[in-house]
Amino acid sequence: MRPFLIAILLIIFQNTITFSQSRQVGGPCEDCEALLDYKLLNRSPNAVDTLPGFYKNEPKIKITGTVYHRDGKTPASNVFLYIYHVDRNGLYQASDQPVGWEKRHGQYRTWLKTGSDGKFTFYTFRPAAYPRRQEPEHIHIYLKEPDTIPYYIDNYIFDSDPLLTEDEKQMQKNRGGSGIIKLKLENGIWTANRDIILGLNIPNYN
């Protein structure tokens, strides 16, 4: 058996053990395990990162935030964030050699990990809406705390999006807090902040 295949099988086995020993929170999620792809890629996530395609696409955006514990005041460290979105055509476009969940989520993705201050920043471009659909433009985000399985929170969506109707706003679950962000032009880049509160509106979270 090839060494690379053995390594992948070992990571899958380790992930299975991790899932079985972690708190089961967040409810059903068929692809939240994609958060663990950073292991397949031998990545060491940091608090700041840039998604592929940032330099080639417009409009460029910068999103910042702080992850807090349930009290909404204490910064949460060692929290992993997985972010992904479609391209400017509304498609999940994979690279020529996709690894893991990239085949489904596309290449415009990254992983972050909060430090002691709970802060994070990522740079990317604003995704398009899905073709021939009425769902607002959005950026997916999943979390993993040190003692939980990965789970999703509300997508980032843009308050300036004409597809973001009042009905759509009312449908939001506010998992981790509201995902609706307002972009402001700062130093030549569209910038927004969204803080995240762990456990807020997350099923089975004690």
User: Tens digit of pLDDT for each residue in 128-177?
Assistant: 999 988 999 999 999 999 999 999 999 999 999 999 999 999 999 999 99
Q: What's the pTM value of the predicted model, to 2 decimals?
A: 0.90
Query: What's the pLDDT score for residue 43?
Result: 96
Alpha-carbon span 107 to 93, nearest angstrom? 6
**Degrees, nearest 5: CA angle 25-121-139:** 60
174: three-class secondary structure by DSSP: coil
Q: Which domains are present in the chain?
A: 3-197 (2.60.130.10)
Are 54 and 107 spatial neighbours (Cβ–Cβ below 8 Å)?
no
CA 78/CA 117 separation, integer angstroms? 10
Using one digit for the tens of pLDDT, what is the confidence trace for 74-118? Answer: 999 999 999 999 999 999 999 999 999 999 999 999 999 999 999
- pLDDT cut 70: percent of the chain above it: 90
> How far is residue 162 from each of residues 57, 134, 188, 202, measured CA to CA in Å?
21, 10, 23, 28
Smallest CA-to-CA distance from 84 within 98, 97, 67, 66 is with 98
79/83 Cα distance (integer angstroms): 13
The Cα–Cα gap between 18 and 181 comes to 33
The answer on pLDDT for 13 being more than 50 is no
